Chain A
Amino acid sequence: MTCSLALALLLAAVDRPVIDLSGGRVQPLPMAIARPLGAADVGAVAETVLSQDFDRSGLFRLLDRAAFLAPASEGLTGFDYANWQAVGAQALVKMSCEAGAASAEVKCDMRLYDVSRAQELLHGSYTAPRQGLRLVAHRFGDDVVRYFTREPGVFQTRIAWVRESEAGKQIVTSDWDGFAIQPLTGASINLLPSWAPDGKSIAFSAFREGTGAHLFVVDVESQRVRALVLSGDFATGASWSPDGSRLLFSSSVNDNSDLYVAQADGSAARRVTDARGIDISGSWSPDGKRIAFVSERAGTPQVYTMAADGSDVRRLTFQGNYNQEPAWSPKGDLIAFSGRDEHRVFDLYTVAVDTGKVTRLTQNQGTNEKPAWAPNGRYLLFSSTRTGKRQIWMTQPDGSNHRQVTSEKGGASDPSWGPLPK
């Protein structure tokens, strides 16, 4: 009996004091990109692209190369991790790039290391034509992002936007960072590009053949343009459903603007709103079951949602008197929109679909409009006049990490983020 009591007391005595800690600071992961080995010119390009990707992503804090302790000749493997630990790196990228025999081809060996645990995490060998070098760096960057976040990266994605010039407005595409611009249309009046989910084509609104704006589609590969919707006084704001089977757009018939859902080729359009006043700017929910849109039915433009067949209409925004351009996030929880505040300036906001809570993303930085989500939901593109001419900018959904994407002389607007590469 005595022994049992002693044992019980001993076990009971192992109770430890407990301290609860919460509110850790969220910070980018410190990362070092070692000086590339091999062909200096090729390595420099790859390193620059990769550094910009990581820096713009907001996920990593790149360490200053001037502080590095490791010798420049240090190899891809078999190095001393202590040199990298000492400069505070937690992740380390090393690469070696070579130009092929014909110099038309480049080959890069890229590696990611966990400095704390002194182990290799990723190893990729990439061969590409020299003009594809940027894509090689983007690809390895996406591999790194996926490793850390377990979500796809967006470094290989393309974005579409409108390039503005004296000649008109032209639909172009570029890499997510604004490089590698590819014009898709002439410079007449082309607006509101919207990617098809497969990334092969882009719908847009254009004033052609002397009529009001109507919908057209351009093949990204061949740049061939064909008409999509020519009915009504005008048709604009095309948006393909996430599965690519339906097309949502707004059209005006007899001065009454409503939303329509049609087949992907624009046929068999069916009106899904039937209220007095304007109903425009439709955006699909990620599951394709609901649509966010703008309606004036309550007197001022506000953001609403409804089922894809037009039933179950719910008003989502109640603050402000001019809210427009809703964009439903790929994660489904937020809808970004632009709203005009009491100073009569448009800024970006998000509204939580569940609670209706509105959060402001931009303020006191010119006019900010046309939000467009990245396919992984981690970023938003938008147009901003903060530097003078309207340009494309990027932000994170909490309003942090604003980065300029375009620097077009005549301006840039109407961004649309393309799908993730297959």
Chain B
Amino acid sequence: MPRSLLAPEARMPALPALALAVLLHVAVIAAALWLPRLFDRAKPPRKPIIAHLVALGRPRDPRLLPRKESPPPSAAQPLTAPTTKPGPAPKKPEPSRRELMERALASAAGHATPESREPPDPERAGSASGSPEGTAASAEEGDAYFTAVHDAVLEHYVVPSVISERERLFLSASVIAWIGADGRILKHEFQAKSGNTFFDQALERAIEQTKLPAPPPDLARALRDSGVVLNFRP
């Protein structure tokens, strides 16, 4: 017998429909939380690479006992414009520590060795507030600000010598710092403590003593509301 067109259509029962809806919501939330992490997964922790730059001097016979590490040479003389006609090309001087550091940094960043800076380029691209060790010609304002935060905190980052050398190697802690529009650190909170009271106290002191410049307008709100994570390593 043909079904009457006026007869009501069969409907899905209410309970399965509700369950399906809940499942769909859960799936969407999970996808929203998980997918970004899948593509933006934190890189596995890498051992820090500490560059021990070769000091200016003569190569030492490896069969001899080592010398004590000597302090770096005094700062290079300020550059002055040549006043006399240049003679024959002088012998290329040995690279200074700073130059070696620049090369190492450039190399680590995948840039070409900045050999073109010998003699220094008077029109080197950069920023008036940049670092002599900087390798980039320009920077996003945000990066520049975070560099300033890094340098300002590092200035006060002191590890008490009462912590043994062996323990120092493994100490790390994370602190969230909320930064006000005027650069004041509004509050800070440990995201992860080191487990060593003196180290954690030293970090708190470092943060309390740090004076930061005002953040750029496009970062001000995020830094005030969400803060920035400071990962302290030995």
- Chain A contacts to B: CB under 8 angstroms: 1, 4-5, 7-9, 11-14, 16-29, 58-60, 90, 116-117, 145, 148-151, 318-320, 323, 331, 339-342, 347, 349, 358-363, 378, 398-399
- Which residues of chain A are near B187, meaning CB under 8 Å? none
- Which residues of chain B are near A60, meaning CB under 8 Å? 162
A21 and B29 contacting across the interface, CB-CB below 8 Å: no
B64 and A341 contacting across the interface, CB-CB below 8 Å: yes
- Which residues of chain B are near A361, meaning CB under 8 Å? 68
- Which residues of chain A are near B226, meaning CB under 8 Å? 13-14, 16
Residue among B63, B68, B162 with the highest chain A CB neighbour number at 10 A: B162
Cross-chain pairs A/B with CB under 8 angstroms, 13 sampled:
A4-B25, A4-B32, A11-B33, A12-B36, A16-B229, A19-B231, A20-B233, A26-B161, A319-B64, A323-B65, A342-B65, A360-B68, A362-B68
Interface set, chain B 74-91, CB cutoff 8 A to A: none
Q: How does the 8 Å CB contact mask read for B191-232 relative to A, with 1 for contact and 0 for none?
A: 000000010011001100000000000000010001111111
Given the contacts A12-B32, A360-B66, A360-B67, A28 and B230 also touching, CB distance less than 8 Å = no
Q: Is B234 an interface residue (CB 8 A)?
A: yes
Interface set, chain B 148-181, CB cutoff 8 A to A: 149-150, 153-154, 157-166, 168, 176
Which of B48, B65, B157 is in CB contact (< 8 Å) with A360? B65
A5 and B161 contacting across the interface, CB-CB below 8 Å: no
Given the contacts A12-B33, A22-B233, A339-B65, A28 and B161 also touching, CB distance less than 8 Å = yes
B65 and A29 contacting across the interface, CB-CB below 8 Å: no
- Which residues of chain B are near A150, meaning CB under 8 Å? 164
Given the contacts A4-B25, A16-B176, A149-B163, A21 and B68 also touching, CB distance less than 8 Å = no
- Which residues of chain B are near A398, meaning CB under 8 Å? 165
Number of residues of chain B lying within 8 A (CB) of chain A: 48
Which of A1, A21, A342 is in CB contact (< 8 Å) with B153? A21
A148 and B198 contacting across the interface, CB-CB below 8 Å: yes
Q: Is B62 an interface residue (CB 8 A)?
A: yes
Given the contacts A1-B24, A17-B229, A148 and B158 also touching, CB distance less than 8 Å = no
A149 and B164 contacting across the interface, CB-CB below 8 Å: yes
- Which residues of chain B are near A29, meaning CB under 8 Å? 160-162, 198
- Which 8 A-B pairs rank lowest in CB-CB distance, beginning with the nearest? A8-B32, A24-B157, A148-B162, A320-B65, A22-B233, A18-B229, A24-B159, A363-B68
- Which residues of chain A are near B164, meaning CB under 8 Å? 149-151, 378
A9 and B67 contacting across the interface, CB-CB below 8 Å: no
B154 and A59 contacting across the interface, CB-CB below 8 Å: no
A21 and B168 contacting across the interface, CB-CB below 8 Å: no
B63 and A319 contacting across the interface, CB-CB below 8 Å: yes
A148 to B68, CA, bound (A): 30
Nearest neighbor of B154 in chain A, beta-carbon distance: A21
Interface set, chain B 1-43, CB cutoff 8 A to A: 24-25, 28-29, 32-33, 36
Nearest neighbor of A9 in chain B, beta-carbon distance: B32
A351 to B177, CA, bound (A): 42
Nearest neighbor of B70 in chain A, beta-carbon distance: A363
Given the contacts A341-B64, A360-B66, A399-B68, A19 and B160 also touching, CB distance less than 8 Å = no
B65 and A24 contacting across the interface, CB-CB below 8 Å: no
Known: A12-B32, A16-B228. 14 other contacts (CB 8 A): A4-B28, A4-B29, A18-B231, A21-B157, A24-B234, A25-B159, A27-B158, A58-B161, A90-B201, A145-B162, A148-B160, A148-B162, A320-B65, A398-B165
A20 and B231 contacting across the interface, CB-CB below 8 Å: yes
Given the contacts A7-B29, A319-B62, A25 and B229 also touching, CB distance less than 8 Å = no
A8 and B68 contacting across the interface, CB-CB below 8 Å: no
Nearest neighbor of A349 in chain B, beta-carbon distance: B65
Which of A27, A340, A359 is in CB contact (< 8 Å) with B66? A359
Nearest neighbor of A7 in chain B, beta-carbon distance: B29
A4 to B23, CA, bound (A): 12
Distance (whole angstroms) from the CB of B194 to the closest CB of chain A: 12
A331 and B166 contacting across the interface, CB-CB below 8 Å: yes
- Which residues of chain A are near B48, meaning CB under 8 Å? 22
- Which residues of chain A are near B142, meaning CB under 8 Å? 17
- Which residues of chain A are near B29, meaning CB under 8 Å? 4, 7-8
A25 to B160, CA, bound (A): 8
Distance (whole angstroms) from the CB of B147 to the closest CB of chain A: 9
Distance (whole angstroms) from the CB of A369 to the closest CB of chain B: 14
B158 and A25 contacting across the interface, CB-CB below 8 Å: yes
A328 to B33, CA, bound (A): 54
B146 and A17 contacting across the interface, CB-CB below 8 Å: yes
- Which residues of chain A are near B159, meaning CB under 8 Å? 24-27
Distance (whole angstroms) from the CB of A92 to the closest CB of chain B: 14
Distance (whole angstroms) from the CB of B127 to the closest CB of chain A: 19
